[in-house]
Amino acid sequence: MKAEPTSLPDVIRLTPRRFADARGYFMETFRLAGLRDAIGTDVEFVQENQSLSLKTNTIRGLHFQGPPQSQGKLVRCVQGAILDVAVDIRRGSPSFGQSIVEELSADNDRQLWIPAGFLHGFRTLENDTIVSYKCTETYAPECEGSVLWNDPDLNIAWDLETPSSIADRDLEAPRLSDLKSPFKYEPMS
């Protein structure tokens, strides 16, 4: 698996090797030891989620799950395509409030490692898009939070004025300036 840094420290782009022949293709999408080497930390997944978005330009996010059940996520698109977004919300981080946008698709095989301390969301680029992600903690509704998907302070390159579909909670989420982030930046020694 190829691991590449992104412009946000600690968010890593991962691309598995695809072996294709006349039958189709084979690829190893996950190996724990390889992931741990790529991201430079010990990680264990305890839950895997999958979403189907029926319409192009569906927005999901921007979400996080905070302490004591902070979630890191390994995100991949298994059908269709998305613009996947991560935003650093670790207080004191040199990249606080900065975001990255990565296209993940069934064709490019890319995955994104998004550690705890980052918002996550995506925009679908095709109808019937399926996104799967492994999580380092189980879902805990009392620990979840969100930030407004189009907060002008974040300046995310969604390239979209109005979503075709979005949850009410995402439309009503606070701006980053109103969030008391539960995450503190801790530089690697």
Residues designated catalytic:
63, 133
3-state secondary structure the chain: CEEEECCCCCCEEEECCEEEECCEEEECCCCHHHHHHHHCCCCCCCEEEEEEECCCCEEEEEEEECCCCCCCEEEEEEECEEEEEEEECCECCCCCCCEEEEEEECCCCCEEEECCCEEEEEEECCCCEEEEEEECCCCCHHHEEECCCCCCCCCCCCCCCCCCECCHHHHCCCCHHHCCCCCECCCCC
